[in-house]
Amino acid sequence: MRKLPLFIALTTLSLGVMLGIATATPPSGDFAAGNGSDGTGHFVFRAQQTTTNDARGRMSYRSPTQVVRANVICLNVQGELAFILGEIDQARSSGVPEGDVRVAFEVRDAPGADKFSIFFANAVLGCTLPPFSGEPLVRGHIIVRDNTP
């Protein structure tokens, strides 16, 4: 008899989760997310534009010599390309070049040919989309959505 209340509770929870997923609205504004390996390290990021010149999200990169965690401050999307800029969380990072307080990911969402690159910068770097210099992923996936006209 104890199994019936447990079954009802799990069913109710499952239906609530499915309803939440089914009614979720797609992101407004530009959006970029991905994870994978560039052959040296592993990256994870999610960035959502909140206003024209502001974005929120998280980004991280881990290699044998670096652990980088950052909070997204800028997202610039043009078509299949995205430039994601983050303020490095120095307390949770190691191996960051001295004097650098920002990290940038350049990504390309090209079906079957996603690309990624990372570089570090000081606080002067703005949110412009530089000429793309990414390398093909060893494994992983990137999504870029240009939702701004």
For residue 82, pLDDT over 70 is answered with: yes
Q: Does residue 117 form part of some domain?
A: yes
In terms of pTM, does the model score above 0.85? no
Q: Does residue 89 form part of some domain?
A: yes
* Model pLDDT, residue 99: 92
Q: Does residue 26 form part of some domain?
A: no
Closest CA to 88 of 79, 97, 80: 97
Q: Does residue 109 form part of some domain?
A: yes
Beta bridge partners of 35: 44, 141
Residue-number span of the structural domain to which 87 is assigned: 31-145
pLDDT category, 134, cuts 50, 70, 90? confident
Instruction: Please state the domain count of the chain.
Output: 1
Q: Does residue 57 form part of some domain?
A: yes
For residue 21, pLDDT over 90 is answered with: no
- Edge-to-edge strand ranges of the sheet holding 54-62: 135-136, 115-121, 102-108, 81-88, 67-78, 54-62, 42-51, 31-37, 139-145
Are the beta carbons of 57 and 77 closer than 8 angstroms? no
For residue 122, pLDDT over 60 is answered with: yes
Q: Does residue 59 form part of some domain?
A: yes
Q: Does residue 17 form part of some domain?
A: no
List of residues 6+ apart from 149 with CB closer than 8 A:
none
Q: Does residue 126 form part of some domain?
A: yes
